């Protein structure tokens, strides 16, 4: 999914927020909801790096602690044309990684301690390049906005049922339906944005590292480990990790709609195709 489609999904979420507010409270509620969302988004984006680091129990490191990891990030960020990010390690046994920060100048690239003994050099380079791709693509902004907009929609839907006037226009059944369907639609849009960002970062990361197979192998190894050992982390930050830290991928069919991450096998297939001449 390209940038136009991603921002189109964000526009849908904005329209959904305004529509729910208008249903319950009319035009004044719609305007107020958009103003509130803008303020909430700004605050969440500005302090996102500190909040996410805390959720994952991560701390900043310098080169003296992990020179190989630090130098690998430095080499890859130069290949990507990015400023040097903060390098961090999360005290988690599950192998995983994430990027956060409000812009490339204030970015954080973090790996868990469990990733270091699991992956070989090429696989670790692929993971770090994937996270730097998120920085380069400014995915943190889009994902933060999607998460906060979704939270605002859920809150507004619940508040409106009890204090809004929508039930006078559509009846109690309509108000309850809006409370259920509004957040559900917001969640699906948020997940679509997250999945689109992961596919895009896989491709860009493979180009930065120069080897799609490294990232493909890393995803397979981390997925197997995550299924055996789920991570205890705030669900609001789970979509930032390179593989789902909470549990393995859900079953196929309708459940695919509720994944925050694309199916790992599909990601690996796309990367293997990149590595094949003429693909």
Catalytic residue positions, numbered: 131
Strand order, beta sheet including 97-100: 58-60, 86-90, 108-112, 97-100
Gyration radius (Cα) of the chain, Å: 20
| Distance between CA atoms of residues 224 and 238, nearest Å | 17
* SS3 assignment, position 76: helix
Place of tokens 């339906």: 177
CB-CB contact of 274 with 203 (8 Å):
yes
Please state the φ and ψ torsions of residue 252, each to the nearest 5 degrees. Answer: -75, 175
| Distance between CA atoms of residues 240 and 231, nearest Å | 13
Q: Quick count: other Cβ atoms within 10 Å of Cβ 194? A: 21
Name the nearest CA neighbour of 183 among 147, 146, 158, 154.
Answer: 154
């Amino acid at each position: 999914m390209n940038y136009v489609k991603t921002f189109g999904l964000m526009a849908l979420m904005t329209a959904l927020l305004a529509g729910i507010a208008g249903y319950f409270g009319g035009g004044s509620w719609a305007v107020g909801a958009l103003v509130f969302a803008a303020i909430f988004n700004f605050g969440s984006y500005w302090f996102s790096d500190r909040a996410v680091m805390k959720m994952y129990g991560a701390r900043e490191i310098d080169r003296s602690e992990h020179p190989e990891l630090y130098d690998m990030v430095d080499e890859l960020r130069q290949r990507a044309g990015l400023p040097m990010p903060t390098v961090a390690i999360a005290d988690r046994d599950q192998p995983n990684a994430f990027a956060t920060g409000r812009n490339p100048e204030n970015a954080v690239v973090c790996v868990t301690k469990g990733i270091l003994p699991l992956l070989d050099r090429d696989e670790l380079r692929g993971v770090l390049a994937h996270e730097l791709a998120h920085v380069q693509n400014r995915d943190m902004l889009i994902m933060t906005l999607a998460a906060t907009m979704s939270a605002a929609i859920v809150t507004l839907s619940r508040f409106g049922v009890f204090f809004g006037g929508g039930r006078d226009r559509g009846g109690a059944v309509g108000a309850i339906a809006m409370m259920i369907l509004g957040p559900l639609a917001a969640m699906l849009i948020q997940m679509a944005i997250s999945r689109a960002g992961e596919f895009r970062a896989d491709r860009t990361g493979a180009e930065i590292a120069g080897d799609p197979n490294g990232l493909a192998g890393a995803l397979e190894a981390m997925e197997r480990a995550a299924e055996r050992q789920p991570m205890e982390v705030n669900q609001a930050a789970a979509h930032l990790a390179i593989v789902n830290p909470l549990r393995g991928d859900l079953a196929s069919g309708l459940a695919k709609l509720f994944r925050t991450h694309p199916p790992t096998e599909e990601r690996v297939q796309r990367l293997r195709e990149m590595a094949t001449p003429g693909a």
